Amino acid sequence: MSTIQPVRGTHDLIGENQRRHSHVVSAARRISALYGFGEWSTPIFEDTRVFSRSLGDTSDVVSKEMYSFSDRDGESITLRPEGTAAICRALVTNGLTQSLPQKVFYAGPMFRYERPQKGRYRQFHQIGVELMGAAEPQADAEVIALGYQILQDLGVAEHVTLELNTLGDAASREAWREALIAYFSRYKDQLSEDSRVRLEKNPLRILDSKDRSDRALVADAPQMAEFLTPEASTFWDDLRRTLDNFGISYRVNTSIVRGLDYYNHTTFEFVTDKLGSQGTVMAGGRYDGLVKQMGGPAVPSVGLAAGVERLSMLLDTAPESARPVIIVPVGSPAEGTVFKVLQSLRQQGVYVEMGYRGSLRKRMERAGKQNAAYVLFLGEDEVERGVCRIKHMESGQESEVTLDSVLSDAATFFLSGEKAAI
């Protein structure tokens, strides 16, 4: 009988991979809290309309990649392909549009049916932040600064470049859209099949095309900068000035239009050359119309999201596992005393395990394989005298201390100066 394998495009998080994953999420959660972002958790699946409305029918996510199905009541349900639309839906359905601004952090799995490759899975994980209810360009800069600080905290900022663009306001975008239609219509017979469809529905999506012939045409397409209204131009200038004040360097990249249809004004990507073709590790922008699409009022908003798998791959080393204290009973000490010590140490915040079986030599070998920081020996004689022996595994030194002192103040022996056993 063949072994059942994970479904294509999914992967298990175990050992080093799990430590990397947890480290990225914990860092993002901690830095987001410093900026005042509280955590929300939304369902893994939503009414399909949450995503078909927000992402746009012409986006690849809706047309090709969503995991959608009908439940037993015939309702169309979709596994969430991204986090922003669900957060906006939650803002509306929980009646929070009257309590703005809302600063939200989220983390969790997302689902897209696409070709699996390095750093890209069909079930992948994202961290993200959304700042809803702030119309100022300073809010965009703050979200970008938050993202940059996460990258700094992870020690990967030096490998990443911030690329920045503007999509302008509604008037700018409509003028640009008309210019793009006029331009691409002249070359309609040279466009890919997908781009010919996009030309009718959303020509901005052609700018995202990966088709080689499309890319050649995109290179000479009209630029958004030619169509910015005075208001949009001021927003763009203020954003860049604020980033300068934050001390964050960037490179303007006019080809960034983002793959989703709900962006306006700011779009940005943090990119790296360390991951091959999967170079974008964090991205986002402004989306002032999305909450209204969810049935709420117009709420100006900006956010970012990052792939946990890709950020994990950028880490130079995996975070170390905590190093345990191993309790090794010697002979047949009073069982009640052994378990009293075990639980007391855990209640004081010490990572501790019991060395149950095998000879003393075998148990010490196992403690070494577990990278134990200390071994605590409890024998009949020690219990009778109210003491225990503690061996520091790195130095090899042993000391004898009273059980009462260990039970009342484990930090003195196991936590002070130790990265592990905590």
What is the token pair recorded at 331? 């002979």
Q: Determine whether 417 is exposed, middle or buried from the number of CB atoms within 10 Å of its CB (0-12, 13-18, 19+).
A: exposed
Amino acid identity, residue 212?
R
Which of 235-254 are b and which e, b meaning 16 or more Cβ less than 10 Å from the residue's Cβ? Answer: bbeebbebbeeeebebeeee
Q: What is the pLDDT of residues 372-422, one digit of tens each?
A: 999 999 988 888 899 999 999 988 999 999 999 888 888 888 875 443 343
Q: What is the pLDDT of residues 283-302, one digit of tens each?
A: 999 999 889 888 899 999 99
Confidence of residue 314 (pLDDT cuts 50, 70, 90): very high
Nearest Cα residue to 124 out of 305, 260, 309: 309
Give 336 or 186, the one with higher predicted confidence. Answer: 186
Quote the CA–CA distance of 81 and 47 in Å, as a whole number: 12
pLDDT of residue 58: 47
State the pTM of this model.
Answer: 0.87
- The four Cα atoms 181, 184, 189, 191 give a dihedral, to 10 degrees, of -110
Quote the CA–CA distance of 21 and 207 in Å, as a whole number: 33
Peptide bond into 101 cis (omega under 30): yes
Asked if residue 2 has pLDDT above 70, the reply is: yes
CA atoms within 13 A on the CB side of 308: 26
H/E stretch holding 85 reads helix 84-93
Q: What is the pLDDT of residues 64-76, one digit of tens each?
A: 789 999 999 999 9
Asked if residue 307 has pLDDT above 90, the reply is: yes
pLDDT of residue 417: 43
Asked if residue 24 has pLDDT above 90, the reply is: yes
pLDDT of residue 379: 87
**How does DSSP classify residue 98?**
T
Confidence of residue 337 (pLDDT cuts 50, 70, 90): confident
Phi and psi of 198, rounded to 5°? -65, -30
Q: Which domains does the chain have, with CATH numbers?
A: 16-169+229-314 (3.30.930.10), 325-415 (3.40.50.800)
- Do residues 20 and 68 make contact, with C-beta atoms less than 8 angstroms apart? no
**What mean pLDDT value characterizes the chain?**
89
pLDDT of residue 261: 56
Work out whether the CA dihedral 341, 343, 347, 350 comes out positive or negative.
Answer: positive
Confidence of residue 153 (pLDDT cuts 50, 70, 90): very high
pLDDT of residue 57: 52
Determine the number of helices (DSSP H) and then strands (DSSP E) in the chain.
16, 16
Give 118 or 174, the one with higher predicted confidence. Answer: 174
Asked if residue 97 has pLDDT above 90, the reply is: yes
Quote the CA–CA distance of 413 and 401 in Å, as a whole number: 9
pLDDT of residue 420: 38
Quote the CA–CA distance of 385 and 235 in Å, as a whole number: 75
Query: 304: helix, coil or strand?
Result: strand
**How does DSSP classify residue 173?**
H
